[in-house]
Amino acid sequence: MSREERRAYQRMTKKQDPYALPATGAARARQQQLERRKAQRSASVTAPPGAISRRFLAWAVGGAAVSGLVAFSLAWPSGMPFAAYVGAGVAVAWVAVAFGLRALGRRNPVRP
């Protein structure tokens, strides 16, 4: 192998794991299928701005849970009922702000 061929080979395999086993036919087929799915997903029609998607709901509910638990933990030294009220209030506020921002996005969509 000449120096030029070796350098070309190193450039070609630069981002591959040197310790990984070579891909078999089935693994290569799975990789190609994954790439096709990614291409289809990115080419599919996205939801209009302001639409309520599963991803938005997960973000809103997950963020509310995390922020509510953080607020509950910070208010814990004040006593139990107050800490629960603070946690629930912050969680509800998170959801209200999330839906408010979503409504603003629907009202005034930014078009690229």
Please tell me whether residues 59 and 93 are part of one structural domain: yes
Same domain, 91 and 66: yes
Contact between 60 and 95 under an 8 Å Cβ cutoff? The reply is: yes
71 and 91 both lie in a single domain: yes
Kindly report the average pLDDT of the chain as a whole number: 86
Give a yes or no: residue 89 inside a domain.
Answer: yes
* Residue 64, in any domain of the structure: yes
Computed on alpha carbons and rounded to an integer, the radius of gyration of the chain in Å comes to: 25
Clarify whether residues 60 and 103 are in a common domain.
yes
pLDDT, tens digit, for every residue of 10-30? 888 887 887 877 767 888 888
Residues above pLDDT 90, as percent of the chain: 45
- Where on the phi/psi map is residue 50: left (φ > 0), alpha (ψ -120 to 50), or beta? left
Q: State how many domains the chain has.
A: 2
| Within-domain flag for 112 | no
Q: What is the pLDDT at residue 44? A: 62
Structure-model confidence comparison of residues 90 and 105, the more confident one: 90
Q: Examine the domain organization and report whether 61 and 39 are in the same domain.
A: no
In a domain, 63, yes or no: yes
Please check whether residue 49 lies inside any domain of the structure: no
Domain assignment of residue 48, yes or no = no
Q: What range defines the domain where residue 13 resides?
A: 3-43
Judgement on whether residues 65 and 100 belong to the same structural domain of the protein: yes
Residue 46 predicted with pLDDT over 80: no
Q: Are 94 and 71 in contact (CB under 8 A)?
A: no
Q: Is residue 62 located within the same domain as residue 94? A: yes
* Whether residue 31 is found in the same domain as residue 72: no
Whether pTM > 0.75 for this model: the answer is no
Phi and psi at residue 65, to the nearest 5°: -65, -45
Task: Pick the more confident residue, 54 or 94.
Answer: 94
pLDDT at position 110, please?
A: 65
Half-sphere exposure of 91 (CA within 13 A, CB side): 16
